[in-house]
Chain A
């Protein structure tokens, strides 16, 4: 596949052996002060992977604590902190940043632009996110210090009021949670604005909206959704801080405030947030699946429309997280319906991927392996989602391990799988070298096996009545064996992720030279050298179809005949 006869201008510079202090400083300076979308994209991805490892380590700590009933690996207090930090880290520091990593790096290259619409805003957004993450983790050191795990948030990542109020959480744990997420939230707003402006205003000649690569479309939809979901959270967190610092009463139930309204505000953010995270995963699958099936994406307009539909419907489903909070029966029924409606555009997406693969010549390189596993796992996650939308059954399953299993099926089984697939796919473009296929296969198979051991089994303790966020459980409940299996799967996944991290590092120095277009792909980024030069394109590209490189490679049968 790889056509290594292409010249590779500036692909891999021989690393200088002698690093003087000045050179290091200059190198550091070039990263800290950069406004280049590619460098910022790499920074976002490195940041995301770093926090994936941190959040993963926290997950392992949780699993060790739960491996048997009545374990004393972590104290209750520390467990709650680790549990909260795991959720917060994975959603905000890993989930929200990988999106902008891919978006930053790929969108300008895919639409034939020189850079993002607002390069300096781009840098500002990244550094806001960066310092937000640092602030969140500073909480382990701040206050009580490392021994007592400092003031790390211990109110779970949904931070239900009034537990977060001063009366029940003295100290600064909820403050770190709220302040750091407000800071990363501003970063998200800036980055989202940038993505949308870039997609609408920076397209090269001929790139009409209906010729945008699907990744760009879906990233834009996700960014738009992020704009209207992260802001309610920011607003609610500001209210929380007003309560905690200015003596306000928003969530102060002693003074007539309401505990329920926090739940509403949080899930108005929290549910669309799931789609903010999963849409970019779809975006990656939308690029990888056609290329490795050797077919154009089936039903491009339907894919765009279903993405937009998901974004809209997702704004009206939040209270399915609150079926047990005591809404009226009519309210419950409404949210059952709206939630199930999301299933329709989602089903359309799955069918479109299936139809794209149908009749193709599927090449199972590592990116495609991850994306195929993604489709089937996403199907299962969607079905358990339907199960959870059945309000009466949800009264049983809510806040149980079944829910944990369901949303990890989305967050790991769908999102993480797509991210891995995406990294295997674009790593050659970014570094000029291929990731090792051998390590990639090890990574995939270990991860997929570990994933299923953990998260398939995890549904069962939920059905057996095991609630979430408990630091230990009674020995006579029959959850012990299951939890041990779940923990073992978790460790297998951890090994797979470590292999992946090793692959990322070792291939950077020793990987096979990639060439411009190792996967024989069709979007514009593959027409640039690997890695792309600072200016991206020597001449501004002009496109006439959705697959400009297909047209180049098949001048006898170009795409625009059919669109």
Chain B
């Protein structure tokens, strides 16, 4: 009856399964990626199809500073993740706050860009195909940044009030996963809108 022995040995091993938070976040990211893919395809398909101006060449400026802020926030949130894993709550709070500020700067930057486009260049979502695809794609990304910032803010408040401890590391990492995703999407949006599309 050697087979029984094998089975029993198998039974005695610890039973490990993936973290459900992480699996769920991965699923959400896959679903979101599909949404972004469709918007990106719509953007690429419509490059140069506008019947009248303004065109991207005339009005778009490459938001280098903005992009640096957003992308470096991925680094700071990673530092925050590492800090909470090691139970350095103060460090965690610091890096988390920096992440929040960098994200907020990005959002303000987008706001400034849109203000210029709308009031100086007269480009709105209904002006032409470029306006439609530009505002919807960049706006979709910006709305994700807003959602991310809200969640960052909630954690920040919990940290300030002293509710975040080492055991929350996993949940925080799941949240950070979302933020990394938002950053990664920006790379795609940036490439498509400001490099390919210009």
Direct contact of A and B (CB under 8 A): yes
Once the chains bind, are B129 and A193 in contact (CB under 8 Å)?
no
Once the chains bind, are B24 and A118 in contact (CB under 8 Å)?
yes
Residues of chain A contacted by B35 (CB below 8 angstroms): 231-232, 234-235
Residues of chain B contacted by A249 (CB below 8 angstroms): 126, 128-129, 132
For B139, give the chain A residue with the smallest CB separation: A242
A544 in the interface, Cβ–Cβ < 8 Å?
yes
Residues of chain B contacted by A542 (CB below 8 angstroms): 11
Per-residue contact bits, chain A 190-201, to B (CB 8 Å; 1 contact, 0 not): 001110111011
A205 in the interface, Cβ–Cβ < 8 Å?
yes
For B34, give the chain A residue with the smallest CB separation: A231
Once the chains bind, are B126 and A248 in contact (CB under 8 Å)?
yes
A256 in the interface, Cβ–Cβ < 8 Å?
yes
Give bound CA distance, A193 to B129, whole Å. 34
Once the chains bind, are A227 and B27 in contact (CB under 8 Å)?
yes
Given A196-B27, A201-B19, A248-B125, answer yes or no on A256-B45 (Cβ-Cβ < 8 Å): no
Residues of chain A contacted by B39 (CB below 8 angstroms): 235, 239
Once the chains bind, are B51 and A265 in contact (CB under 8 Å)?
no
Once the chains bind, are A205 and B11 in contact (CB under 8 Å)?
yes
Residues of chain A contacted by B15 (CB below 8 angstroms): 205-206
Residues of A195-247 whose CB lies within 8 A of B: 196-198, 200-203, 205-206, 224, 227-232, 234-236, 238-239, 242-243, 246-247
A189 in the interface, Cβ–Cβ < 8 Å?
yes
CB of A249, distance to nearest CB on chain B (Å): 5
Once the chains bind, are A192 and B51 in contact (CB under 8 Å)?
no
B57 in the interface, Cβ–Cβ < 8 Å?
no
Residues of chain A contacted by B19 (CB below 8 angstroms): 201
For B51, give the chain A residue with the smallest CB separation: A256
For B132, give the chain A residue with the smallest CB separation: A248
B118 in the interface, Cβ–Cβ < 8 Å?
no
B37 in the interface, Cβ–Cβ < 8 Å?
yes
Most buried by A among B11, B128, B129: B129
Once the chains bind, are B3 and A561 in contact (CB under 8 Å)?
yes
Given A197-B20, A232-B35, A232-B38, answer yes or no on A250-B132 (Cβ-Cβ < 8 Å): yes
CB of B42, distance to nearest CB on chain A (Å): 6
Per-residue contact bits, chain B 26-40, to A (CB 8 Å; 1 contact, 0 not): 011011111101110
Give bound CA distance, A318 to B84, whole Å. 46
A255 in the interface, Cβ–Cβ < 8 Å?
yes
Residues of B6-59 whose CB lies within 8 A of A: 7, 10-11, 15, 17-20, 23-24, 27-28, 30-35, 37-39, 42, 45-46, 49-51
B91 in the interface, Cβ–Cβ < 8 Å?
no
Give bound CA distance, A268 to B41, whole Å. 12
CB of A51, distance to nearest CB on chain B (Å): 24
A257 in the interface, Cβ–Cβ < 8 Å?
yes
In the complex, the number of residue pairs spanning A and B with C-beta atoms less than 8 Å apart equals 121
A117 in the interface, Cβ–Cβ < 8 Å?
yes
Residues of chain B contacted by A189 (CB below 8 angstroms): 28, 31
For A542, give the chain B residue with the smallest CB separation: B11
Residues of chain B contacted by A255 (CB below 8 angstroms): 50-51, 128-129
Give bound CA distance, A183 to B103, whole Å. 29
Q: What does DSSP make chain B's interface, helix, strand, loop or mixed?
A: helix
Residues of chain A contacted by B45 (CB below 8 angstroms): 258, 261
B133 in the interface, Cβ–Cβ < 8 Å?
yes
Once the chains bind, are A261 and B42 in contact (CB under 8 Å)?
yes
Residues of chain B contacted by A230 (CB below 8 angstroms): 31
Residues of chain A contacted by B10 (CB below 8 angstroms): 206, 544
Residues of chain B contacted by A224 (CB below 8 angstroms): 27, 30
Per-residue contact bits, chain A 176-194, to B (CB 8 Å; 1 contact, 0 not): 0000000000000100111
Given A196-B23, A196-B27, answer yes or no on A248-B38 (Cβ-Cβ < 8 Å): no
Once the chains bind, are A202 and B32 in contact (CB under 8 Å)?
no
CB of B43, distance to nearest CB on chain A (Å): 10
Once the chains bind, are A227 and B31 in contact (CB under 8 Å)?
yes
A158 in the interface, Cβ–Cβ < 8 Å?
no
CB of A323, distance to nearest CB on chain B (Å): 20
For A268, give the chain B residue with the smallest CB separation: B38
Give bound CA distance, A224 to B128, whole Å. 36
Residues of chain A contacted by B129 (CB below 8 angstroms): 249-250, 255-257
Give bound CA distance, A256 to B51, whole Å. 6
A560 in the interface, Cβ–Cβ < 8 Å?
yes
B72 in the interface, Cβ–Cβ < 8 Å?
no
CB of A244, distance to nearest CB on chain B (Å): 11
Give bound CA distance, A401 to B113, whole Å. 52
CB of B89, distance to nearest CB on chain A (Å): 27
B66 in the interface, Cβ–Cβ < 8 Å?
no
CB of A122, distance to nearest CB on chain B (Å): 12
Give bound CA distance, A232 to B32, whole Å. 9
B136 in the interface, Cβ–Cβ < 8 Å?
yes
Residues of chain B contacted by A200 (CB below 8 angstroms): 17-18, 20, 23
Give bound CA distance, A228 to B32, whole Å. 8
Give bound CA distance, A307 to B38, whole Å. 25
Residues of chain B contacted by A256 (CB below 8 angstroms): 46, 49-51, 128-129
Per-residue contact bits, chain B 49-88, to A (CB 8 Å; 1 contact, 0 not): 1110000000000000000000000000000000000000
Given A239-B42, A247-B125, A542-B11, answer yes or no on A231-B132 (Cβ-Cβ < 8 Å): no
Contact of B30 among A227, A261, A268, A560 (CB under 8 A): A227
Once the chains bind, are B34 and A228 in contact (CB under 8 Å)?
yes
CB of B20, distance to nearest CB on chain A (Å): 4
CB of B193, distance to nearest CB on chain A (Å): 16
Residues of chain A contacted by B33 (CB below 8 angstroms): 228
Once the chains bind, are A265 and B7 in contact (CB under 8 Å)?
no
Contact of B7 among A238, A243, A560 (CB under 8 A): A560
Given A197-B23, A201-B19, A231-B35, answer yes or no on A544-B7 (Cβ-Cβ < 8 Å): yes
Contact of B38 among A203, A235, A258, A561 (CB under 8 A): A235
- The interface of chain B, by Cβ under 8 A from chain A, is 3, 7, 10-11, 15, 17-20, 23-24, 27-28, 30-35, 37-39, 42, 45-46, 49-51, 125-126, 128-129, 132-133, 136
Q: List 10 A-B contacts (CB under 8 A).
A: A200-B23, A201-B19, A202-B20, A224-B30, A227-B30, A246-B126, A250-B132, A255-B51, A256-B46, A544-B10
In the A-B complex, list the 3 residue pairs whose CB atoms are closest, starting with the nearest. A247-B126, A235-B38, A201-B20
- The interface of chain A, by Cβ under 8 A from chain B, is 117-118, 189, 192-194, 196-198, 200-203, 205-206, 224, 227-232, 234-236, 238-239, 242-243, 246-250, 255-258, 261, 265, 268, 542, 544, 560-561
Q: What 7 additional pairs, Cβ within 8 angstroms, besides A257-B49, A542-B11?
A: A118-B20, A192-B27, A196-B27, A197-B27, A227-B27, A246-B126, A265-B38
